[in-house]
Amino acid sequence: MKRCTAVHAGRLPSTGFGVQIQPRRWRSYDKSTLTQDALLEQVESQLGDDVNGKPLRVNPDAKTVTTAAGALPISPIMDPAWIKTMRREKKNNPGKISGQFRKKLSNNPFAQALITPLRWCSNTDALLPRYFLQDLEVVSHPEHPNQQWLAPGPISLNVVPSSRPRPRASPTQTQPIPTMADSDTLEGSTSDEHGNSSKANELDIGSETSTRRDIRTQAPLTSYCLSRKSLVDSIFSQSKASRRSKMLMFARRSGMAATTFNRKDSIWHPDMGDLILKRQRRMLVEALIYRAERNVEPDYRFLQPVNSWDEVKDVEKRGCVLWFGDTVNPKTDAFATLDVKDAKWWKKIPVHNLAWLLGEEGVKVLRESSTIFRDNNIVVLKLWRIESVRRLHLLLWRMHGYLVEDE
């Protein structure tokens, strides 16, 4: 589907007196462009020539400009010193991470989930990091542009690896913004298979090529709800009780995009909760199959099978445990962890019951496509310093929160 093309003026904060303020967007400038000579050259290039054909020159010390009639005082907007104060200098790129704790923290999937921007769920009144919420955006049907639909946004897909090497775009190259009809694509990894930082993109799961600059952005009108299947089912149901939930979704939105949204005429898919779950399961199966295909014995770079729970502590770079439980208990499977004794890092690691996360159909496809999952019930998923691997861990944890049942 194509996203709505309505102009979006942004969320306008209120002063408390009914007056809304347009937020100011800062642009950062390179340090070399903020020197006096560079700013002076920029100002004089816009002045042109006087009546005698001589170029107009600015004297920054005397605050004057030379003209055919003599030196005249300049406007503040022509003063390089004033221009420099109104422009924000671009910060230097962060240096290499030093210290074992900082390296571990930067590669911790749960820390990456907590540093995402805060967003608000209007139905539960919860203010949480965006990772724990499900983004829902208003899109238009490709065959019926005037028909508005509610669809899952692209943010929840940022935990999924992508599949093909993507060319690195130049800073000046303009990339088109994909539409809803495009496949789910994500930015490539900036680390190699050995966990070292590099500029080479990694081959991951996906179906389309992309660059770090053409990741599909949000639609002009996007709302959030808690990433919980029970809540999504209640919002998108056809019951009378869901009317209030639908109204709350975009109740506090402002701007031109919000004025074009008509809740009554929009289409709310009643099976949205199942569709989101089906898509997440499909992505998880594809990602695990991809890692299993590149998992060569005896190295077991990404997935290492173990015969018992006691052998988990001997696995290096252990991140989480994948196992196929005989029974499914959402209350216990949602918070299952394994304690590793005498470990300095990762003393407690999560345990994911794939029978619960993937369902019978997903488990069947996974075991038919991979021998490591077909021949073993307990597999350790390692945590390398690779962005796509962190996304895989984030996807597993996200599905835990989505499937957990309310008490």
The C-alpha R_g of the chain, in whole angstroms, comes to 27
* Gap between the Cα atoms of 44 and 296, Å rounded: 64
Q: Give me the pLDDT at residue 183, please.
A: 34
User: How confident is the model at residue 209, as a pLDDT?
Assistant: 35
Residue of 156, 152, 283, 229 whose CA lies nearest to 403 = 229
Contact 250, 123 (CB under 8 A): no
Q: How far apart (Å, rounded) are the C-alpha atoms in residues 328 and 360?
A: 11
Q: What is the pLDDT of residue 258?
A: 55
3-state secondary structure the chain: CEECCCCCCCCCCECCCCCECCCCCCCEECHHHHCHHHHHHHHHHCCCECCCCCECEEECCCCEEEECCEEEECCHHHCHHHHHHCCEECCCCCCCCCCHHHHHHHCCHHHHHHCCCEEEECCCCEEEEHHHEEEEEEEECCCCCCCEEEEECCHHHHHCCCCCCCCCCCCCCCCCCCCCCCCCCCCCCCECCCCCECCCCCCCCCCCCCCCCCCCCCCCCEEEEECCHHHHHHHCCCCCCHHHHHHHHCCCCCCHHHHCCCCCCCECCCCHHHHHHHHHHHHHHHHHHHHHHCCCCCCCCCEEECCCHHHHHHCCCEEEEEECCCCCCHHHHCCCEEECCCCCCCCEEEEEEHHHHHHHHHHHHHHHHCHHHHCCCEEEEECCCCHHHHHHHHHHHHHHHHHCCCC
How many distinct helices (H) and strands (E) make up the chain?
12, 16
List the pLDDT tens digit at each of the 407 positions of the chain: 444 443 333 444 444 444 444 445 567 888 889 999 999 998 888 888 888 888 888 998 899 988 888 888 988 888 999 999 888 888 888 788 888 888 888 888 899 899 999 988 888 888 999 999 988 887 777 777 677 777 888 766 655 555 444 444 444 343 333 333 433 333 333 334 334 433 333 333 333 333 333 455 666 677 888 889 988 888 888 777 777 777 777 666 655 555 566 656 677 778 888 999 998 999 899 889 988 888 777 778 888 888 888 888 888 888 889 988 877 777 676 778 888 888 888 888 889 889 889 988 999 999 999 888 988 889 999 988 888 888 899 999 998 888 887 66
pLDDT of the residue at 114: 92
Ranges of beta strands (E only) in 174-280 are: 222-226
pLDDT tens-digit readout, 373-403: 988 889 999 988 888 888 899 999 998 888 8
Q: What angle do CA 111, 117, 119 make, to 5 degrees?
A: 120
Q: What are the structural domains of the chain?
A: 2-6+99-273 (no CATH), 28-87 (no CATH), 277-403 (3.30.1330)
Global pTM exceeds 0.85:
no
